[in-house]
Amino acid sequence: MMSGKPLKVTIKERDECIGCGACWGICPEFFEENLEDGLSQILAAYRFEGDIAEGRAPETLEECVREAEEMCPVGIIHVEEDP
Q: Which residues bind ligand SF4 (CB under 6 A)?
A: 11, 17-23, 40, 72-74, 76-77
The DSSP code sequence of 18-66 is ----HHHHH-TTTEEE-TTTS-EEE-GGGEETTEEEEEEE-GGGHHHHH
H/E element, 68:
helix 62-71
Which of the 8 DSSP states describes residue 14?
Answer: G
Closest approach, Cβ 74 to ligand SF4, in A, equals 5
Closest approach, Cβ 62 to ligand SF4, in A, equals 17
Closest approach, Cβ 4 to ligand SF4, in A, equals 26
Q: Which is nearer to ligand SF4, 6 or 21 (CB)?
A: 21
Q: Which is nearer to ligand SF4, 73 or 83 (CB)?
A: 73
